[in-house]
Amino acid sequence: MSDNPLTEEQVKQLNEIASLPQEQQQEKLPAFLKTLSPEQLEFLKKQQGQGGCPFCLIVEGKLQSKTIYQDDKVLAVLDIRPATAGHVLVLPKKHCSVMGQMNDEEVAHIFMIANKLASLLFETLQAEGTNIFVANGQTAGQTVDHVLVHVIPRFKDDGLQLTWTGQEVEDAKLEDLKNKLSGKIGVKEQVVEEAPVIEEKEEKAEERFPDF
């Protein structure tokens, strides 16, 4: 880059710092920044705005990670601050802030991989359950500006709280919400006409569920 005001030596130093674990980065970065001119600092700030995303740096191989899987679209790494041991993050290689920015194919692929990883966690870590979780937006608990699909293995008494108490809601409110939302997701509904139910089957169902 010809308009890069940093010297080659400074770029090298910066890359070395970026490859360190986060704690060491925080230790070494301030001292390095003090050696820069205001112009150089301004340049770095701009760079950060565009490419300072830690997960993009991981994708580019500029930050270390414990990679579990990768292809041309996604990368799966171990979370270095896991909710439980074996917590995996699946992320798109292309920078996207929220899942709504990904196309249908990318979304389908990332969830396919997340699902395979969940099965792997069952098999290899003897997980008793898994949570597949996405936080879209800060209000939803998103802390990094890059889509992450969390695949969290669950173990009995692991102490992790991902539960909520269902609220009381009136039927009119549900009806109102239904009217606001139904038929509006922008996907053509395709419901295959069901074959007429054979009476015999109905009787059998009643036998199995006498309370109905």
- Where along the sequence are the contacts to Zn ion (CB under 5 A)? 53, 55-56, 95, 146
Burial class for 155, CB neighbours closer than 10 Å (0-12, 13-18, 19+): middle
Question: Which residue carries 């008494």 as its tokens?
Answer: 157
Nearer of residues 62 and 154 to Zn ion, judged by Cβ: 62
Question: Nearest to Zn ion by Cβ — which residue?
Answer: 53
Dihedrals φ, ψ of 162, to 5°? -125, 35
Q: How far is the CB of 55 from Zn ion (least distance, A)?
A: 5
Q: How far is the CB of 59 from Zn ion (least distance, A)?
A: 7
Question: Which residue carries 């292309």 as its tokens?
Answer: 94
Nearer of residues 121 and 150 to Zn ion, judged by Cβ: 150
Q: How far is the CB of 141 from Zn ion (least distance, A)?
A: 18
Q: Count the helix, strand and coil residues of the chain and give each as a percent rounded to the nearest 5.
A: 45, 10, 45
CA distances, 130 to each of 36, 89, 156, 159, 166 (Å): 47, 13, 11, 14, 21
Q: Output the CA angle 179-184-185, nearest 5 degrees.
A: 130
Nearer of residues 51 and 141 to Zn ion, judged by Cβ: 51
Nearer of residues 58 and 114 to Zn ion, judged by Cβ: 58
Nearer of residues 5 and 54 to Zn ion, judged by Cβ: 54
Q: How far is the CB of 67 from Zn ion (least distance, A)?
A: 16
Q: How far is the CB of 162 from Zn ion (least distance, A)?
A: 25
Cβ pair 58, 146 in contact under 8 A: no
